[in-house]
Amino acid sequence: MADAPKDVVVLGAGIAGAALTDHLAKRSLNVALIDPRTPAAGASGRAAGIVTEQLWNPWDVAVTRESREEYRELAAAKEPEAFVDAPFVRLTSVAEVATALRAAVERLRGWGVSVEELGAEELRRWFPNGRFERLAGAIASDSDACVTPSTITSLYLARARGRGADAAFGGHVEVPTFSDGLWTVQAGESRWHSRALVVAAGAWSKRLLRDLGHPLPLTPYRTQAAVLRPPGSQSLGGGASLHDLDTDVYARPEVNGRILAGDGTEKFETDPDRFVTGADSEFLAHLAESLGRWVPEWETSEVVGAWAGVCTATPDRRPCIGALDPSSGLYVLTGFNGFGVMRAGGAARRLADLIAAPASESARAALVPVRPDRFGGKAEPFPPRAGFTLEGGSHPRF
């Protein structure tokens, strides 16, 4: 592979980088995907995999809807168990939050999202043993899904390779250099040259972009999740996901009646090479108490496994996608604030359109809400505001 010429080199083999590689290869671009670890070794391999249209604005809804359908298609062909239709339920016991939730319904319907308000009886179709006496408000969207992110990443990668893309994993990657119109990337024993370089390195993007001389305001942060086995058969009945807006704890259905649940987001920066990979006892206690508020049996669930991963925040909770330095062909696909799985497929398609046709006005317009130059070159430190809470309205929880 020495001195192999490429149109594009993508750095980072999470779900976003793998999806981008596939979309670039589909456009007949000569592309290589490089990662010093294995595919989905970072946040993608530890993500919840909830894909919901209950999002922030029409751009997010369109991107996530497109991503969901890509995942459905990928999984149906090879790994059908990696994609499950699962309505997304949000609920609260706080009157003020319920008012904001009702406002969200009108906003979401205006964007074409199929969403409905629910009472206690409707909730019991999914959670028959739930206790909803304290319920102040709840909504559900029925077009949502749960996916296995690591499997979807592998499926993108396999399809990209089938379209002619190259990949190199597991070796040390030097900081790329730019000279005479080409990027040079040394990965293990291989050297790659390319006309464009994409940083899609997740929590490592901050350090890499700084070393490239194009820093962005990014903050890697630690978040936690666990797989739980409820007693008896008290799993997520009917295959719905649940989000408690009061505690910001979520739970989604897993195989064999298990639950994947999480929150545990820390509010300070984490080094992606040095962090506690296991879950904290305080987090597990918080998880049990929060889940037990609505389904008492869940509070005594057995912990099958628990872990932590590192996501990447931006100051405005919007990702950074697009050209960071058009003169050198440097692009970014990062800063998803914990929502990378929801957006990866659709975001990658839009970035691939831009890379394939940098002068295209329509390709540029498709990424205006997430342009990486919106911070004006500033990269001051900031605390992450990420969590599972989905924004969009005036209330802090939205």
Instruction: Read off the pLDDT of residues 325-373 as tens digits, 9 standing for 90 and up.
Output: 999 999 999 999 999 999 999 999 999 999 999 999 999 999 999 999 9
Q: Which two tokens stand for residue 179?
A: 């000279």
Radius of gyration of the chain from its Cα atoms, rounded to whole angstroms: 21
DSSP string, 106-131: HHHHHTT--EEE--HHHHTTT-TT--
Per-residue pLDDT band at 239 (split at 50, 70, 90): confident
Identify the pLDDT of residue 327: 96
Q: At what angle do helices 149-162 and 58-78 cross, to 10 degrees?
A: 70
Query: Closest Cα partner for 194 from 36, 378, 4?
Result: 4
Q: Which residues touch 179 (CB under 8 Å, ≥6 apart)?
A: none
pLDDT of 2 above 60: no
Contact in structure between 264 and 277 (CB atoms under 8 Å): no
Is residue 53 scored above 90 in pLDDT? yes
Pick the CATH number of 4-46+149-218+315-375 from 1.10.357.10, 3.50.50.60, 3.20.20.70, 3.30.565.10: 3.50.50.60
Span 101-128, mean pLDDT? 94
Of the candidates 296, 324, 309, 216, the residue with the CA atom closest to the CA atom of residue 266: 309
> Per-residue pLDDT for 31 more than 90?
yes
- Is residue 1 within 8 Å of 171, Cβ to Cβ? no
CATH class of the domain comprising 83-146+220-313 = alpha beta
Once rounded to an integer, what is the mean pLDDT over residues 214-234?
90
Domain with CATH 3.50.50.60 in the chain: 4-46+149-218+315-375
pLDDT of residue 5: 84
Given pLDDT bands bounded at 50, 70 and 90, which one contains residue 41? very high
Sign of the four-CA dihedral 364, 369, 371, 375: positive
Portion of the chain with pLDDT greater than 90, in percent: 85
pLDDT of residue 1: 44
Q: What is the mean pLDDT of the chain?
A: 92
pLDDT tens, residue by residue, 150-186? 999 999 999 999 999 999 999 999 999 999 999 999 9
Q: Which pLDDT tens digit goes with each residue over 69-105?
A: 999 999 999 999 999 999 999 999 999 999 999 999 9
Mean pLDDT of 20-29: 98
In the chain, ranges of CATH 3.30.9.10 domains:
83-146+220-313
